[in-house]
Amino acid sequence: MEFAWRTEDAAFRSELVDYLDTELTGEWLRSDGTGLGSAVYTEFSKTFVGKLAAKGWLTPHWPQEYGGHGQSAWQHFVLGEEMWKRGEPRGPQYMNVNWVGPAIIKYGSEEQKRALLPPIARGEVFWCQGFSEPEAGTDLASLKTRAVRDGDDYVLNGQKIWTSYANAADYCFLLARTGAPASGRDGISVFLLPMDTPGVEVRRIDGLVGEHSFNEVFLTEVRLPHTALLGEENNGWNIVRRTLAYERVGAPRYARAALVLDGLAAWARNQGSLADPGVQEQFGKARTLCEAARVLVYRVIDERAKQKEPSPLAYQARAAMVQAERAVGDLALDIMGSEALVERSLGDAQFRNSLGAGIAAGSYEVQLNLISRLILGMPKD
């Protein structure tokens, strides 16, 4: 692994930072990252990603024929880091460029690629992820939403839950059972569902991670053409495994945590508590965890840049990011005391973020299980 940045990546970061310093001003310059699903945030990110796309900075790592610029995985990651350092102004579209698009590039038909990838690359569409169900979260393979073949169509019935941004989404990357009810992971398929299809109903859930982030999605007799199937029928589990490997490190959460840490240090300095050796030690530990997460994520990006298949390193990187987020959240509560209870304060926002980080994209405990089995070689039970 090469630790120095390549000249072109360093130059790209510097140009990007200059651009973001000019473009992201005023209201945007808050570090809490709350409101990712809010109307204001959504509107802002739609305009902003259009500007990024015009500069070739939305999907730089995609193949040129689908709206990309054939740049390396590192360049895409530099973009991600700088965005998360600023509270992720791309909004929900970080998911499109990280894993929805790459999944379509890998498994999609030529027709799907031509129809679905260019609008993502131009920053025109939102996607959401329809995986979790009321009885299928960690145990995703037990999902019950059914898709039954009927002539040239599939007819879908079921319910999704915790679907982030579904209220603003144009499409859903949806998992449904096409095999027998007890077929487990062997009977799951992926559908690319336009959210305006008749029979799709979105209901808001108020959650702790930000204004209007969560939704339930109900599917009643939703009829989709068979061309909405991604890859082969019943091969959805393989697609999801790969997709989640991309999603787990797609958001450089350590970059946002480090930004919050800087904010907390400024707060502590103002309060006169930064000189306390105990407080300094806590800051040192939290910063170390952010840096450790950064290096572990870089190992995954290094694999990707070398065109290797996703490996279990992604679980390690994800677990490290959760530890970093939690350390900063705990520090905020410790040093800010009751001020951290004020809604949207640095402490409140970071604590909520760290709770979400340990559950989304597979919980922290699940990452630990996978590390023990696939990296440490321990038995499953």
The structure tokens listed for 350 are: 């970071």
Instruction: Check binding of 209 to ligand FAD (CB under 6 A).
Output: yes
The 101-130 site mask, x for binding ligand FAD (CB under 6 A), equals ---------------------------xxx
Q: Which of 99, 123, 116, 122 is nearest to 46 (CA)?
A: 123
Decide whether 137 or 184 has the Cβ nearer to ligand FAD. 137
Instruction: Check binding of 96 to ligand FAD (CB under 6 A).
Output: no
Residue of this chain nearest to ligand FAD (CB atom): 137
Total residues at interface with ligand FAD (CB under 6 A): 19
Decide whether 67 or 358 has the Cβ nearer to ligand FAD. 358
β-sheet bridge partners, residue 214: 205
Report the nearest approach of ligand FAD to the CB of residue 129 (Å): 4
Decide whether 68 or 102 has the Cβ nearer to ligand FAD. 102
Three-state DSSP at 122 gives coil
CA distances (Å), origin 333, targets 56, 96, 288, 319, 353: 40, 33, 18, 21, 13
Candidates 66, 84, 162, 315; binder of ligand FAD (CB under 6 A) is 162
Instruction: Check binding of 231 to ligand FAD (CB under 6 A).
Output: no
Decide whether 128 or 331 has the Cβ nearer to ligand FAD. 128
Give the span between the Cα atoms of 43 and 59, in whole angstroms: 20
Are residues 302 and 295 in contact, defined by beta-carbon separation less than 8 angstroms? no
Q: Which amino acid, 145?
A: T
Candidates 119, 137, 179, 310; binder of ligand FAD (CB under 6 A) is 137
Are residues 237 and 141 in contact, defined by beta-carbon separation less than 8 angstroms? yes
278 Cβ partners below 8 Å, 6+ apart?
Answer: none
Instruction: Check binding of 132 to ligand FAD (CB under 6 A).
Output: yes
| CA 146 remoteness from chain centre | 26
Scanning residues 346 to 375, which ones bind ligand FAD (CB under 6 A)?
356, 359-360, 362-363, 365-366, 369
Instruction: Check binding of 190 to ligand FAD (CB under 6 A).
Output: no
3-state secondary structure labels for all residues of 16-74: HHHHHHHHCCHHHCCCCCCCCCCHHHHHHHHHHHHHHHHCCCCCCCCCHHHCCCCCCHH
| Candidate ranges 60-68, 145-153, 161-169, 256-264; the one touching ligand FAD (CB under 6 A) | 161-169
Instruction: Check binding of 75 to ligand FAD (CB under 6 A).
Output: no
Residues interacting with ligand FAD, by CB under 6 A? 128-132, 137-138, 162-164, 209, 356, 359-360, 362-363, 365-366, 369
